[in-house]
């Protein structure tokens, strides 16, 4: 009986993932957090270096879904990487990197699958050690692909893969001096994340 009940639940959840013709506003927060450690040389030897990196990726999309499957809205992106470098298990150096961006989003959803593209109007990047430098200006985009399982009416749970690409035209020093870059700086990387969707 327990097996039959489980199969019934899976079948109903899978069929709910289609939800054809649904429409309305939806909020889709997505995020991921992970930590990595690397060691150079004998961890207890002279000159040994240990690097600990903590990364987060947060995406928030608010959009309107049309019954035909297309949706339009906006997305905000916030990405961080914090690194602690420890030498000889004593001396430490901390650094952090932050990427942000916002822009209009256009996408398509069919069943549980979805595709979305966001144009970043003013992406920023900051790097901090003992001081902070900032990159701004330019533009960029985010491309998302993923799948949602509609576990109940209006509630989806799934995963997405996001490609982030941004260019910057200006550099702001720690003293506040702004200069125009002769060659644009570029960031490009991929981030996976867990996604929730609330349709209302």
Give the integer Cα–Cα distance in Å for 150 and 198.
10
> What pLDDT score was predicted for residue 93?
77
**Is residue 44 classed exposed, middle or buried when 0-12, 13-18 and 19+ CB atoms within 10 A define those classes?**
exposed
> What pLDDT score was predicted for residue 20?
53
Non-local (6+) Cβ contacts of 183 within 8 A are none
> What pLDDT score was predicted for residue 12?
45
Give the integer Cα–Cα distance in Å for 50 and 14.
45
Average pLDDT per 10 consecutive residues for the chain, totaling 200 residues: 40 44 89 83 62 90 93 96 78 86 96 94 92 92 95 90 96 90 91 93
Q: Helical H runs in the chain?
A: 2-16
> What pLDDT score was predicted for residue 162?
96
19 contacts 26 by C-beta, under 8 angstroms: no
Give the integer Cα–Cα distance in Å for 112 and 110.
6
Rounded to a whole number of angstroms, the CA Rg of the chain reads 21
> What pLDDT score was predicted for residue 102?
96
103 contacts 120 by C-beta, under 8 angstroms: yes
CATH topology of domain 2-199: Porin (2.40.160)
b/e per residue 105-124 (b: at least 16 CB within 10 A): bebebeebebebbbebeebb
Copy the structure tokens of residue 5. Answer: 């009940």
Q: Tell which phi-psi region holds residue 176, choosing left (phi > 0), alpha (psi between -120 and 50) or beta.
A: left
């Amino acid at each position: 009986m327990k097996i039959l009940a489980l199969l019934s639940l899976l079948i109903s959840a899978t069929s709910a993932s289609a939800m054809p013709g649904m429409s309305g506003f939806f909020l889709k927060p997505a995020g991921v957090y992970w930590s990595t450690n690397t060691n150079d040389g004998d961890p207890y030897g002279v000159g040994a270096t240990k690097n600990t990196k903590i990364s987060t990726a947060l995406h928030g999309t608010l959009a309107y879904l049309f019954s035909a499957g297309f949706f339009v809205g906006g997305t905000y992106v916030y990405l961080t990487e914090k690194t602690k470098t420890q030498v000889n298990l004593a001396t430490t150096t901390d650094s952090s990197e932050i990427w942000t961006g916002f822009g209009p989003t256009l996408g398509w959803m069919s069943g549980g699958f979805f595709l979305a593209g966001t144009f970043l109007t003013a992406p920023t990047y900051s790097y901090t050690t003992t001081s902070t430098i900032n990159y701004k200006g330019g533009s960029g985009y985010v491309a998302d692909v993923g799948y949602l399982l509609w576990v109940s009416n209006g509630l989806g749970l799934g995963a997405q893969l996001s490609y982030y690409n941004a260019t910057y035209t200006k550099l702001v020093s720690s003293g506040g001096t702004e200069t125009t870059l002769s060659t644009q700086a570029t960031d490009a990387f991929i981030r996976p994340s867990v996604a929730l969707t609330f349709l209302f």
